[in-house]
Amino acid sequence: MNKKAGSGEMRHLEGKHIALTASRKTEEMQTLLHKQGATSDVRSMQGTVRQDKETVTHQMKEDLDCEVSWFIFTTGMGVTTLLAYANEAGIEDDFLRKIKSSRVAARGYKTVAALKKIGADVDVRSGDGTTAGLKKQLEAIRFSGERVVIQQYGTSSPVLENFFVDQDADIQTWLPYIHYAPEKEAVDVFIQELVDEKYDAVCFTSGLQVKSLFGRVGVIGERERLLALFENRMIATAVGKVTAEALHEEGLQRVVSPTTERMGAMIVELGRYVAEK
């Protein structure tokens, strides 16, 4: 194995060129990559996430006037933001009363913590913090004819929505934020670089980055080619379970991800994977 001369530091990524799709902490990640001998480019696919207070508050008022059997919460930030919107609209008491009188499912530990903070009991939670894990826990429950409110973050999740549609539930979606993908031109440049095999690996740090890239890939007809490249040539790397899940949902089979959800751990895991290949 290659080592950095005089330091004993492992350089598992010597000669590798890595793309980073994040918009935050990119300098720190590049420093870690360079210590392992890699070169890197930042190709941010994060886009922007903006509050959509007016739309979701209107939807909340409508749904709080109806019977709701289940609330499905997917992010702690979403719970906190919805509570703030309800407070500003003068419907906080109705919001809390409705949640506490309905059954509640939550995806991750941050979501559970946010719900406990407002005094809501969680009936069902994901065992591993992923949407797929939450769906698995919900499969034993009948939702036919039930009104279900799903809180999403930035974009809708077809996994959850399709599950409830198949169950013949009446679903409503609350989106406290709206995700806007990056400029098409920037995404197209990155896709062309991927097709040209410029990179040995791509590091993703959020599901939104995955959706931005593959949403555009589908539009321009390069999905199958890109999936083949990730399977045989480039290494898709995810910072944690939720990001890895987003990649799997797009059809990727091989995804490298650390046990500990940290950007540094992701790069160490990528280096370990390359060294063991």
Domain CATH code at residue 197: 3.40.50.10090
- Are residues 258 and 160 located together in one domain of the fold? no
Question: Is residue 132 within 8 Å of 164, Cβ to Cβ?
Answer: no
- Are residues 147 and 203 located together in one domain of the fold? no
Cβ of 267: how many Cβ atoms within 10 Å? 29
What pLDDT does 272 receive?
95
- Measured distance CA(72)–CA(173) in Å, rounded: 9
Q: Please report, for residues 138, 254, 264, the alpha-carbon distance to residue 145 in angstroms, rounded to integers and kept in the order given.
A: 15, 38, 46
Please count the structural domains in the chain.
Answer: 2
- Measured distance CA(271)–CA(103) in Å, rounded: 44
55 in a domain, yes or no? Answer: yes
- Are residues 158 and 227 located together in one domain of the fold? no
Q: Which amino acid is at 124?
A: V
5 in a domain, yes or no? Answer: no
- Are residues 158 and 206 located together in one domain of the fold? no
Phi, psi values for residue 59, rounded to 5°? -65, -40
What pLDDT does 50 receive?
81
- Measured distance CA(56)–CA(176) in Å, rounded: 6
Query: Nearest-CA neighbor of 169 among 219, 212, 105?
Result: 105
Question: Is residue 232 within 8 Å of 48, Cβ to Cβ?
Answer: no
Last residue of a domain, one of 179, 208, 229: 179
What pLDDT does 51 receive?
79
- Measured distance CA(106)–CA(131) in Å, rounded: 9
> Which SS3 state, helix, strand or coil, does residue 129 take?
coil
Cβ of 168: how many Cβ atoms within 10 Å? 11
Query: Tell me, what DSSP letter sits at residue 150?
Result: E
Token reading at 159: 């996994």
Question: Is residue 125 within 8 Å of 137, Cβ to Cβ?
Answer: yes
- Are residues 260 and 144 located together in one domain of the fold? no
User: In tens digits, what is the pLDDT along the chain, a chain of 277 residues?
Assistant: 444 433 445 789 999 999 999 988 899 999 999 999 999 999 999 988 787 899 999 999 999 999 999 999 999 999 999 999 999 999 999 999 999 999 999 998 899 999 999 999 999 999 888 888 999 999 999 999 999 999 987 767 788 899 999 999 999 999 988 878 899 999 999 999 999 999 999 999 999 999 999 999 999 999 999 999 999 999 999 999 989 999 999 999 999 999 988 999 999 999 999 999 8
8 in a domain, yes or no? Answer: no
Token reading at 16: 């590798």
- Are residues 104 and 133 located together in one domain of the fold? yes
- Are residues 208 and 238 located together in one domain of the fold? yes
Last residue of a domain, one of 179, 212, 247: 179
153 in a domain, yes or no? Answer: yes
> Which SS3 state, helix, strand or coil, does residue 46 take?
coil
12 in a domain, yes or no? Answer: no
What pLDDT does 257 receive?
96
What pLDDT does 9 receive?
54
What pLDDT does 5 receive?
38
Query: Tell me, what DSSP letter sits at residue 87?
Result: H
- Are residues 33 and 86 located together in one domain of the fold? no
Phi, psi values for residue 227, rounded to 5°? -60, -40
What pLDDT does 6 receive?
38
Last residue of a domain, one of 179, 197, 225: 179
Domain that holds residue 84: 49-179
- Are residues 53 and 42 located together in one domain of the fold? no
256 in a domain, yes or no? Answer: yes
- Are residues 108 and 54 located together in one domain of the fold? yes
- Are residues 72 and 105 located together in one domain of the fold? yes
Token reading at 242: 């939720």
- Are residues 169 and 258 located together in one domain of the fold? no
Question: Is residue 120 within 8 Å of 15, Cβ to Cβ?
Answer: no
Cβ of 66: how many Cβ atoms within 10 Å? 11
> Which SS3 state, helix, strand or coil, does residue 15 take?
coil
Report the side by side order of strands in the sheet with 235-238: 39-42, 17-20, 201-204, 235-238, 255-256
What pLDDT does 2 receive?
42
- Measured distance CA(71)–CA(111) in Å, rounded: 12
